[in-house]
Amino acid sequence: MTRRTRTFENISDSDLFQQVASQYGLQTNVDVSGPTHRVLAQINQSDLAFLRERARAVDAELWVEDRTLNVKARNRRNTADLTLSYQQGLHEFSAVADLAGQVSSFTVSGWDVAGKQAIKHKATDSVLSGELNGDSGGSSLLGQIIGTRDQQIVHALPFTSQEAQELAEGSYRRAARKFVTGSGVAEGDARLRVGAKLQLQGLGTLFDGHYYVTQARHAFDGNNGYRTYFSVERPGIGH
């Protein structure tokens, strides 16, 4: 895609996705919230890179399917719920729980031009309450084992409290979801694709549970037939 520089004035992210999609003859299925921005700048970026950046800013995921540009928050994606058990459809699996990228909080500061006052929002593990499913999150374990680690976001300047909240909470979720990452090999299943919710069993107390598929590759060969190679992530670990 060609890189370009341009600005969009008085536009919401939802309207931005629809406007750019129309330039490529794509239909849209957009379900995101957010304020109307005074200015959004696309600086030496391809349209795809710019849209991905804006999707991350509103904690959403972006993909094209059947000539339709879809933009939705992870918990709003209507995807398959699959179950795999070790040695029963799941042939191989490896996982890592890594505290290196975990934080106790993300704080964003900015300036409300209209209200002429400073704005600040701090995101903590409360934004993950619906995703842990009783597991121990990376932030909680970080505090127990190492200590608190608070992160200040300094590369962005929100102009409203809603922008600050979305930026802080989106940054926290992205970091927290990468606490546990894994990869595996399963019997071929076309439903096993990016965005699928995967329940893995037979891996022991620590790693049994719900995962989110972030990558998938479907392969055929003469020895194994149809196999699916996948990568997953989740924000917590069993106990």
Q: 117-146: per-residue pLDDT in tens?
A: 999 999 999 998 888 988 999 999 999 999
Question: Is it the case that residue 1 has pLDDT exceeding 80?
Answer: no
Residues 190 and 83 in one domain: yes
> Whole-prediction pTM value?
0.87
Residues 171 and 183 in one domain: no
Lowest-pLDDT range, 105-119, 176-190, 193-207?
105-119
pLDDT of residue 155: 84
Q: Which residues pair with 70 in a beta bridge?
A: 29, 63
**What span, in angstroms and rounded, lies between the C-alpha atoms of 164 and 73?**
17
Is the alpha carbon torsion for 68, 74, 78, 82 positive or negative? positive
Residues 115 and 221 in one domain: no
**What span, in angstroms and rounded, lies between the C-alpha atoms of 129 and 191?**
27
User: Domain end: 147, 175, 203, which one?
Assistant: 175
Residues 69 and 123 in one domain: no
pLDDT of residue 139: 94
Whole-number mean pLDDT of the chain? 92
Total structural domains within the chain: 3
**Residue burial 14-37, b: 16+ Cβ < 10 Å; e: rest:** bebbbebbeeeebeebbebebbeb
Q: 199-236: per-residue pLDDT in tens?
A: 999 999 999 999 999 999 999 988 889 999 999 999 99
User: Domain end: 156, 175, 194, which one?
Assistant: 175
Q: 38-83: per-residue pLDDT in tens?
A: 889 999 999 999 999 999 888 899 999 999 999 998 878 877 789 9
Residues 109 and 215 in one domain: no
Q: Domain span at residue 160? A: 105-175
